[in-house]
Chains A and B, each alone.
Chain A
Amino acid sequence: MKDRLKAYEREIEFCSYCPKLCRFACPVAKITASEASTPTGKMTVIKLVKDGAIEFNSEVAELIYQCSGCILSRTYCEHRIEVIGTFEAVRAIAVEKGIAPKRVLEFGSAWSKFRNPYGEDLSSKLKSLAQAKEQKPSPILVFPGCTMSHYFPGTIKDLLLVLDQLELEYQVFSQEYICCGYPLYAIGHWKIFEEHKKWLAEKLNGYELILSPCPTCVYFLKSQYIDSGLAEVKKIQHASEFIAENLSQLNLRAKISGKIVYHDPCHLGRYLNVYQAPRKILRAITEEGFLEFYENQEQAECCGGGGGLPLAHPQIARAIAKNKIEEFKALGGEVLGSACPMCERMFSRSGREEGIMVRDLISLLCECLIKK
């Protein structure tokens, strides 16, 4: 254990000796009210395990899965520590030892058939979507990602319409397996991930530009495949960045009315530092601008959907989303604008009973297009 966590020594030590300065912001600890769930609480337990003071058992493992990987704690940390990296490493050990939560352990077999978390043949789904348009060889790849493909295929369709209007030649990634592998990595199935990573890296190799409507895919492909040199790809962007850069080339008609409140997805904002592109799009397509959540950009609170939290601790994940829905209502919002399929899923689910409308920016933009 000690050797496996050597790379995280600074994080473990600094967090364990910290007077919990990020405490108030942690979305998980807000729900559980527990000191154990705080970043400091979890790091302290990891330190005690690493130092041999307590046993690494299923109770400890259960606790380490109480994190959405939102890295909001980094915003309030002058050492800029991102705790999730350490938790992911500990989770990998928990999976190996077979002491991870049952739902996490079972995920491996659910994954095996189609290599995505949803047990669905997403490849066929995407092929039928992409067939609407003739696919020509292109150095530009649209990587839809598994969550968008499973829950919101309409948004992928909308993205392709936008790209068509920009007269972009592209290919849609619709090979056998659609997932970037983040869900596996986040919950600690690192061995299975290694195998998938090799397969996917080959498929991505050689593209000049990858575009994805999913910020998690963008962050994860960038960090695990591209920056590490595993796949040679010149550039990867979230769709909102690409569209914002080319916004002037789109024919937009009458704008959207109604109060849109924009939510910064953690993987787009804090991980990729993309805050302005979605706002530029929203300014272009709304009549009266849009509203912000009280805490936004680097301080934005998360939807609860990251870090495998909905799998390991679904009640906590849902309660986090519910809190944000309450704020949305207090702001008098009519449409909750998102730029991430997981955020859209979390908010749609938590706001369903109250009829909360959650939309991806790409679909909102698409409504404003004059078709050529």
Chain B
Amino acid sequence: MSERIQSATNSLVGILGKEWVRSDRTTLISYARDIFMPGYLDLRRGKIENLPWLVCYPENIDEVKKIVKIAQEKKIPLIAFGGGSGVLGGTIPVKGGVMVDLKRMGKIRSINKINQTCEVEAGIFGEDLERALNREGWTLGHFPSSIYCSTLGGWLATRSAGQFSAKYGKIEDLVISLEGVLADGSIFHTKATPRSATGPDLDQVLIGSEGTLGIITSAILSINPVPKVQIYRGFNFEEVEGGLEAMRVLMQRELVPALLRLYDPMDTKFNASKLKAPGSGCLLVVGYEGGNKELTELKARLGFEQLKRSGGKDLGEEPGLAWLKHRYSVSYHQSKILSQAGNLLDTIEVSVRWSEALALYQRIRERIEKIGLVMAHFSHAWRDGVCIYFSFLVNDPEPEKLREKHFQVWEGAMSACLELGASISHHHGIGFYRSRWLKQELGVGHQILDKLKKELDPNFIFNPGKLGLGEG
């Protein structure tokens, strides 16, 4: 251990106590990877790299502030860590450094019934937060499929979106204010107001910054009453094109549901038995929920009628309810597939306007099909477009060739997005892996980000190697 790290360790122990500063090998190993898929190739080969130098566990914002000051003084990278469920390597300490695990900061500070908000610390797991809110009659309405293993801090850092975002909003819509620490050790706490016209929205600068501009320690979030009525339904469309058009019409006709997902033929086949739906055509699941029974039922009836008019075959409520029951099941396939040598699977989620949606879907699918197996669903729909969520499997007995095939898939998908004016990420973020395409995605915007980074964090202590920042 170098003198600089030893000295930082001593200072951190002085602040947090010995128990909360750990450098044993088993701890370091468990922070060296997140859910970035090629990382599992290393695990398969017993290769251990990207070990952090230390892991520390602050309990409050003052401790975070002190940690940041030490890091600044010693020029040591700090990587904020929640659940480590990111799939783009966002928390991998690619340049070494100290992990700042925020899970000891997992309290719900308050629930404000008048304003319908809650103040929550960043280290809380999604499922713990949702359950605690439900006990009081509230829901955050944020349901990413990673809810069991991801934290509020991670959602904020990556601009997460949940399965019911069409009704409740994406994470950036739920945030009323943020609290955290900047690289100079100053604490920021944005004002909790319903809206303001006071210059650019600083919350939105920090949301999605992936720990590169500051460490978010808590947030005030908007909450909703737990819905009293939930109405779900399955429909079948002959092909993707018709299903996509039906989604667009629904989203643009005051009939916005809580849930709307369309599976392509391969994804439909894959999910048919679990979702109790026919294995051919394209399955669409739709759900309305709310506190007003009459209103929810009316919207659902009109929405379902519209889907039928758009060519959908009504499958009844069973596929919708089956989807609800298994909505987090997809991640369990990972172990089964990855535990077989030669396999590598991954997902790519992209965002595209309706006008280019079908073309992008076809282009990416065709490119991936040349390399491996691919299926897709349209997971989130908006007034102006949709998220396409591709799942793919590549296979090769040679690990390096497997890694190369995996990259070819990504290259094909990302370049298709750039060619058609789509966004390279809808809700998984950038991490280090997607950084190589980010400059092209953002154009001058990336220079603005880079300047912001240099101004706010001139020593690059916050999560270096991510978002392509500081790389010239």
Contacts and interface: CB of A to CB of B under 8 A. Distances in A.
A13 B22 contact: no
Nearest to B87: A19
13 contacts: A14-B335, A19-B35, A20-B83, A21-B331, A23-B148, A24-B125, A24-B149, A33-B101, A34-B22, A34-B55, A34-B101, A35-B30, A35-B31
A44 B43 CA distance: 8
B202 interface: no
A83 B336 CA distance: 16
B237 interface: no
Given A17-B338, A18-B335, A53 B48 contact: yes
A311 interface: no
B29 interface: yes
A76 interface: yes
A372 B146 CA distance: 58
Given A14-B336, A54-B48, A19 B26 contact: no
A14 B47 CA distance: 18
A13 B335 contact: yes
Nearest to B25: A59
Contacts of B83: 20, 23
Contact of A76 (B55, B126, B148): B148
A355 to B, nearest CB: 26
Given A21-B331, A44-B29, A48-B48, A294 B135 contact: yes
A19 B334 contact: yes
Interface string B37-78: 000100100111000000101000000000000000000000
Contact of A21 (B29, B135, B149): B149
B122 to A, nearest CB: 13
A52 B149 contact: no
Contact of B328 (A16, A20, A21, A52): A21
B240 to A, nearest CB: 28
A41 B83 CA distance: 12
B149 A79 contact: no
Instruction: Name which of B27, B85, B131 has the most chain A CB atoms within 10 A of its CB.
Output: B27
Nearest to B131: A294
A52 B30 contact: no
A51 interface: yes
Smallest CB-CB A-B distances: 9 pairs: A53-B46, A13-B339, A24-B125, A35-B30, A17-B338, A36-B30, A14-B335, A78-B332, A33-B103
Nearest to A315: B19
B29 A54 contact: yes
Interface string A15-52: 11111111111000000011110100100110110011
Contacts of A51: 46
Secondary structure at the A interface, as helix, strand, loop or mixed, is loop
B85 A20 contact: yes
Given A13-B339, A14-B339, A45-B29, A24 B128 contact: yes
Interface in A273-312: 294-295
B46 A48 contact: yes
Interface string B126-138: 1110010001000
Interface in B95-149: 101, 103-104, 123, 125-128, 131, 135, 146, 148-149
A31 to B, nearest CB: 10
A63 interface: yes
B85 A79 contact: no
Contacts of B24: 59
Contacts of B339: 13-14, 16-17
A35 B46 contact: no
Contacts of A230: none
A60 interface: yes
A13 B146 CA distance: 20
A44 B35 CA distance: 13
A365 B323 CA distance: 44
B10 interface: no
A35 B149 contact: no
Contacts of A14: 335-336, 339
B107 to A, nearest CB: 12
Contact of B127 (A24, A52, A59, A294): A24
Contacts of A21: 148-149, 328, 331-332
B347 to A, nearest CB: 11
Contact of A35 (B43, B84, B338): B84
B57 A60 contact: no
